[in-house]
Structure 1
Amino acid sequence: MRGAVCPQTLDAAIPLPHLLFARSPPPRRRRTPTPAPAPAPAGMGLSQEEQKRIAAHRAVEQVESGMVVGLGTGSTAAHALDRLGELLRRGALRDVVGIPTSLKTAAHAAAVGIPLSDLDSHPRVDLSIDGADEVDPSLNLVKGRGGSLLREKMIEAASDRFVVIVDDSKLVPRLGASALAVPVEVVPFCHNYTLTQLKTLLNQQPHFSGAKLRTAADGAPFLTDNSNYIIDLYFEDGITGDLNAISDGILRLTGVVEHGMFLGIATEVIVANKDGSVLVLNK
């Protein structure tokens, strides 16, 4: 179990020993830092999209030339892709290799000029940047409501650092407390059997409210990039109890591929607030 979470402003962030690389980073060209956002007018706040952009740009400031970078999936991570591509085109960064967490991210990254590879060629990832659907006080996450949880978890678990970028609406007292889905990726074969097994397991949870197969707009089962299905779990007031034990129970069910609880993986969370301020949470 990682240590306590310590909130702090970004400018006061103190590097921790586990963030120091054994190898020296290559020299980098000077680049212009992301300007601090102007304070929101009294009685008004930034839009959620503006908050996402602020968090993403702050995270990209941690990318160094020569790094292997895990590229997240989703609307917040998209801002990081755009910023990283811009810095590469300007020459402020060079020799960066991106490892995409989805086919959509791979297409976006290629379009903005980010060179791509995979974990087979780069099993060590220096830094991953991705969004999250929920963040609890211990920096555990729910991810994968966009359907990319398996590839996201593979790449982000292989990273020396995993920086999560969110707006303040994603902070929750416990995982599942938003009452939105906690996804589980399953093989298509006998998926109704797997759905029943998940319900039986989670009926022991006091706030478990149900599980259902995710469907696409045409009513057919939603397909992940790995051609698997997603079963969405719902909780009325979040998941209580030992998250690691619940995780292990889900993963022991035959037919389950992976779930969207990212436990103990994030090393830093950058939170953009409606007033334009930024909070950094470190393990």
Structure 2
Amino acid sequence: MNSWKYADKMKHLNPIDDEFFTKMAEDPNFCQEVLRIVMEDPGLIVQELIPQNSVKNLQGRSVVLDSFCKTSDNQHCNIEVQKENDDDHIRRVRYNGSCITVNITNTGSKFKQVPDVCVIFISRSDIFKGNHPLYHVDSVIRETGEIINDGWKRVFLNTKVKDGSDVSRLMTIFTEDDAYDDQRFPCTSARKRLFKETPKGESEMSDIVREIVEIECAKAAEEAAQKATEEATKKTSIKNIKLLIKNGVPLSTIVTTFSYIFSESDIQKIYSECESNTIS
């Protein structure tokens, strides 16, 4: 692997990236600091931390949680990061929360003993488009507006909205390459600096970064091969279309035959070019 590719990838990795966050989340102090800011509880204590915890649903499908913590007040908190905006993340949070609840609830427990679960979801995009960096989603009685305490909390953060709040400033460290010197978040800053600037951190990240680069290179090669195949198919199809036009095949038939690769306007353009060449 080219050293410059490795260095460039390492330079641009941040906590918003799943692989980088996983390493960050191996430190309970980092997770505790994030939870204290998000939950607005400076006294919150992380008693137990399980990074990259795998839980299953009733059908046996596994879900890998980026970071799973248990706090001193018996809350079970899952922190997830997602850079892409390619799925229904609201339902994703619901699904993950359900899987967590099933996995941590003892068989035969009464419902009042079902543990409290909080899923904190961090994304690049403002998925609710309300121009807030943080959203609390509650269970509410529609008729009265009363919030129900069912032991299920959902907190959505995004790195897009900048409003000067502590949450917004914390998210800056999650996304900006050189942001790891904010003394308001000493644990987060120190943890990120470890992987960005020290030989020890770079050594811990080396296999992960190498795997990321190899996957990206393989994907780029696959896309290039697919593009080359598509271009070759187009060239062959254009040649066949011109031959059909020359032999007097109706335009409507040609459009139907090649609709899988060309639009009607594209075929009309080829048809016009053939007519123009015939006239000239």
TM-score by length of 2: 0.25
Q: Which has the higher helix share?
A: 2
Q: Which has the higher strand share?
A: 1
User: Greater relative contact order (Cα 8 A, min sep 6): structure 1 or 2?
Assistant: 1
